[in-house]
């Protein structure tokens, strides 16, 4: 089911993830045969003439970057790209995508790493929502199917919103990149993280998304629940 762009409401929300503590010298990690060196918590860097300090990582390093809290700025994250694991073009495009959706707060190069400051959003990935965990514990597959349908619909609505108001659609809406709010056992809204992959939205003569954009929006809902086990 495709969403009319005219019916989408702008929804902004914040989420917190449990941080991992990292101290001392840069951490050398080996995952999937790729060695990466992450900057440590406490590393200082300047963006737009203002000093910032990396807090603890929000989670384990990704394939190309580690996302950190920013000390003294609870509404910001710092995405620190691992040297050699992403190109300057990739880094620039992610910053541009964040700028389009109004979530970019600057970037800098520090100690051989590229850092992007962006909004921190809250919510939980679908398998980590209380509603999903409660349904899973109860063996309630009907409820889990209902939650999947909600997650898919909310993801499409969010992508429709970005298409209409920001001219861009998120193309990597796997369930790790979509965060949901919930209330009384139901999912209420969604927000995207990791803007490295997106495409410019197109509109047809009637102002609705063109066929390519509509297909991306529809597919984003399927991707958001793909791989979420019952």
Last residue of a domain, one of 72, 93, 119: 119
User: pLDDT by residue (tens digit) across 32-78?
Assistant: 444 457 799 999 999 999 999 999 998 888 889 999 999 999 999 99
Neighbours of 8 (CB within 10 A): 18
Report the percent of the chain where pLDDT is more than 90.
75
pLDDT at residue 191 tops 80: yes
φ, ψ (nearest 5 deg) of residue 170: -75, 130
Count of the separate structural domains present in the chain: 2
| 9-39: b (≥16 Cβ within 10 Å) or e | eeeeeeeebeeeebeeeebeeeeeeeebbbb
Instruction: Please report the sign of the dihedral spanned by the C-alpha atoms of residue 156, residue 157, residue 158, residue 159.
Output: positive
Asked whether the whole model's pTM tops 0.85, one would answer no
% of the chain with per-residue pLDDT over 70 = 83
Residue range of the domain that includes 100: 27-119
Is residue 160 pLDDT above 50, yes or no? yes
The stretch 119-139 carries a mean pLDDT of: 95
Tell me: do 143 and 102 sit in the same domain.
no
CATH of the domain at 62: 3.30.200.20
DSSP assigned state of 4? P
């Amino acid at each position: 089911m495709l969403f009319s762009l005219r019916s989408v409401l702008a929804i902004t929300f914040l989420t917190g993830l449990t941080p991992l503590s990292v101290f001392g010298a840069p951490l050398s990690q080996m995952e999937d045969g790729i060695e990466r060196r992450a900057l440590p918590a406490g590393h200082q860097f300047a963006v737009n003439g203002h000093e910032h300090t990396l807090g603890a990582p929000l989670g384990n390093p990704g394939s190309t970057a580690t996302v950190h809290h920013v000390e003294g700025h609870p509404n910001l994250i710092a995405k620190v790209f691992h040297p050699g694991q992403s190109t300057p073009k990739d880094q620039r495009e992610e910053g541009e995508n964040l700028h389009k959706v109004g979530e970019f707060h600057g970037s800098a190069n520090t100690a051989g790493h590229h850092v992007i400051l962006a909004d921190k959003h809250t919510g939980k990935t679908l398998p980590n929502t209380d509603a999903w965990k409660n349904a899973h514990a109860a063996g309630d597959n009907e409820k889990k199917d209902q939650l999947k349908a909600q997650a898919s619909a909310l993801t499409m609505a969010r992508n429709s919103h970005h298409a209409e108001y920001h001219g861009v659609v998120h193309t990597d809406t796997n369930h790790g990149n979509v965060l949901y709010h919930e209330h009384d056992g139901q999912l209420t809204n969604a927000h995207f993280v990791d803007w490295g992959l997106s495409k410019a939205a197109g509109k047809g003569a009637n102002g609705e998304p063109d066929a390519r954009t509509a297909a991306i929006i529809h597919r984003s809902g399927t991707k958001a629940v793909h791989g979420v086990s019952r």
